[in-house]
Structure 1
Amino acid sequence: MYTKIIALCLASSFILAGCSKSSDNDLPADEEQVITDISYGSHAQQKMDVHLPAERNTQTPVVIFLHGGGFVAGDKAEVNAYMRLFLDRGYAVVNANYRLVDSTGLSQTPVLHQESAIKISDQLNDIRSITDKVAASVASWKVSGSKWLLAGHSAGATLALLYAHGNKNSDKRIKVVANIAGATSFAFSDESEAALVPPLLLEVLFRATGVPATNPNKLAYMAISPYWVSNNSSNAVAAINIRPEQDSGDDLYRAYTQLLISRSVVNQYLIITGAGHSLDPDSKKAEAVVAIDAFARAAL
């Protein structure tokens, strides 16, 4: 099923890092700028950094990037390498944190079973708040208000797909979505499949959805599956899906690709050869960003 993919998503760091703060008042467009820890909500995790390229203007595209961490962990500081790569290719980059599903007791044996106040639906609401904040700021940042790309790594990529192809993007602010090593489906045909999932992963999915993986709850698991959200949505946007060669899930990625083709959605499926889930060394990240840039420039 999707066990190996989720396990890789959960492999991201659980450590949060802080950043200093700056102001975005009167930013000269001819200079590179970084504004850190901009709040887009009242929660401590609702913060984002903005990296603005030199010589930017109202045609400068914007990429909103979401870190990984299996929905329960991770921080924007962990994906700074992607920020530099996009910045060097002329993008304004929004590197965003989002509220995390509760990770309490996940490292215990046995795994602690409890509900989480934050679920994937809340994380998708955070992305909406991020886009609202960006929309309110593009004039002062001196960047495009319409050429927007949503990208992410691992669980962040899954969230990006869910948002871009879901009803929260009905205003079509997001024109292109980029999935780097994200899961494309958590759905199951029968609850007996849950017996094959390690307890840690099963608990994360329970906390992320709020319901156990049983037959009466199939729709809840389809609702956090990009494949099924894309299948049922009229808001699908151009998508590039990138799988590190050492990740499992080729069959799921190919099924997702065929779905997008059947729905006449512009898309690309790319395998980064020799790469593991984290796309180390940075040359592998650069390969992914070059492909995303070429795809996005053609689609925007």
Structure 2
Amino acid sequence: MRPIKLAFVLCCIAIGVISCSTDSSNNTGSLAYTQHINVSYGNDSDQKFDIYLPANRTIETKVLILIHGGGWSSGDKSDMNGFRDIIRQDLANVAIVNMNYRLADANNNPYPMQINDITTVINHLKSNQDEYVISDDFGFIGVSAGAHLSLLWSYGFDTTNNIKMVCSIVGPTNFTDPAYLNNTNPELQDILDLYGVNPTTTFLEEVSPYHRATTSSPPTILFYGGQDPLIPTTQGTDMRDKLQSLGVTHQFTLYPDAGHGWIGLELIDTWNKLKLFTQAHLN
């Protein structure tokens, strides 16, 4: 949940350098690939997103929203560029939104501020469907704190059922987990304290995807590391078991020897599973 220079970003296949704005043309009359960088959706400097619109898109084109990590208090959308690139390569018909959100500090709590930012971006995309030529079917890929936000918004704030799938990579799911409440890790506690010192159980449940999941929650794919110093294994296994009990479509992968991120064969396995899951549920 700290600023994460995950191997996901470093090892995803690059597909070339992309300029800050592109509107290619072709001779077929169909829509060209277009991208818009640093689109403002609010007055804060962090309220910006990048949108990548595939060629030949239609009003049926689905949208993947990328949410970066960083312990709710740091990080940047550029941390998700590796995902952006491999999605453009392997899921070429999907539009991509890579968003920043306002970062928490001593004067600004992450909740509900960051959830409100996601809501604003979703509403912007829905209001500008005709301009972008996209559908209002969305999926999330989030890493660490971004995975928590992705799950929380999908389970607790998607009142119109626009989210068709959500992916959590090393995301916190349950702030009432004894592994969090009884932890002795000062670094971890500093991060958790962003959600309040001695918060009530009711509040912790409100900000926990585990407690917000319902039978109508969208298909969910989860990835966790067995040696993660910030995300106890129970954050993943308990979420898996809750989704199972609710009858929610889900997949769960635990890499026993991995920490807060991984490389090599585990990374390849993550992308292969995530790609197939996305193709199955965001289609």
- Report the TM-score when normalising by structure 1: 0.77
Question: What runs of 5+ residues in structure 2 fail to find an aligned partner?
Answer: 6-17
1:179-213 CA-partner distances (Å, limit 9, x unpaired): 1111121215699x45x333343233233x2x322
In 2 relative to 1, CA 250–204 (structure 1 residues): closer, same or farther, beyond 3 Å? closer
Contact 1:188–1:218, Cα closer than 8 Å, also in 2: no
Classify 1:244/1:137 alpha carbon distance in 2 versus 1 (closer, same or farther; 3 Å): farther
Of residues 117, 132, 143, the one that matches 1:126 is: 117
CA spacing shift, 1:275–1:189, aligned 2, 3 Å? closer
Find the counterpart in structure 2 of residue 10 from structure 1. Answer: 2
Q: CA deviation at 1:239?
A: 0.7
Give the secondary-structure state (helix, strand or coil) at the position aligned to 2:221.
strand
1:219–1:255 Cα change, 3 Å = same
Q: Within 2, Cα distance between the matches of 1:198 and 1:273? A: 21
Paired with 1:87 and 1:127, the residues of 2 have a C-alpha distance of 22
Which residue of structure 2 lines up, in the alignment, with residue 157 of structure 1? 147
**SS of the residue 1:119 aligns to:** coil
1:98 aligned residue (86, 101, 106): 101
**Quick one: which amino acid aligns to residue 169 of structure 1?**
D
Contact 1:21 1:38 in 2 (8 A): no
1:38-49 maps to which residues of 2 (within 5 A)?
38-49=39-50
What is the one-letter code of the residue matched to 1:184? T
> Does the 8 Å contact 2:32/2:55 carry over to 1?
yes
Q: Which segments of 5 or more consecutive residues in structure 1 lack a partner in the other structure?
A: 1-8, 14-18, 103-114
User: How large is the RMSD of aligned CA atoms in angstroms?
Assistant: 3.0
Q: Which letter maps to 1:239?
A: T
Work out the number of aligned pairs and report it.
264
Residues 190, 297 of structure 1: CA spacing in aligned structure 2 closer, same or farther, 3 A cutoff? closer
* Alignment match, 1:236: 217
Q: Which shifted more, 221-230 or 64-73?
A: 221-230
* 1:74 CA drift (Å): 0.2
Contact 1:170 1:235 in 2 (8 A): no
In structure 1, the residue matched to 2:164 is 175
1:120 and 1:286, CA in 2 relative to 1: closer, same or farther beyond 3 A?
farther
Give the 3-state SS of the residue equivalent to 2:128 in structure 1: helix
Q: Distance in 1 between matches of 2:171 and 2:124?
A: 25
Structure 2 CA distance, aligned partners of 1:293 and 1:157? Answer: 17
User: Equivalents in 1 of 2:256, 2:179: separation in Å?
Assistant: 34
Could you tell me which amino acid in structure 1 is paired with residue 186 of structure 2?
Answer: P
1:1-300 equivalences under 5 Å are: 9-12=1-4, 22=21, 30-88=31-89, 89-90=91-92, 91-102=94-105, 115-146=106-137, 148-166=138-156, 168-188=157-177, 193-194=181-182, 196-207=183-194, 209=195, 211-213=196-198, 217-230=200-213, 233=214, 235-244=216-225, 246-247=227-228, 249-271=232-254, 275-280=258-263, 285=267, 287-300=269-282
CA contact (8 A) 1:164 1:235 kept: no
Letter in structure 2 aligned against 1:54? A
**For residues 286 and 42 of structure 1, do their structure 2 counterparts lie closer, same or farther at Cα, with a shift above 3 Å needed?**
farther
The 1:58/1:190 distance shift into structure 2, 3 A limit, reads closer
Residue 34 (structure 1) shift: 2.1
The match for 1:106 is: none
Deviation at 1:254, TM superposition (A): 1.8
Q: How far off is 1:296 after superposition?
A: 2.7
Q: 1:240 to 1:135 in 2, by over 3 A?
A: same
**Offset, 1:299:** 2.6
Using the aligned pairs only, state the percent identity: 27
Aligned to 2:112, the other structure's residue is in SS state helix
TM (norm. structure 2) is 0.81
Kept in 2, the 8 Å contact 1:246–1:274? The answer is yes
1:252: how far off?
A: 3.0
Cα deviation 1:228-258 (Å, max 9, x = unaligned) = 121xx46521111112454363333122111
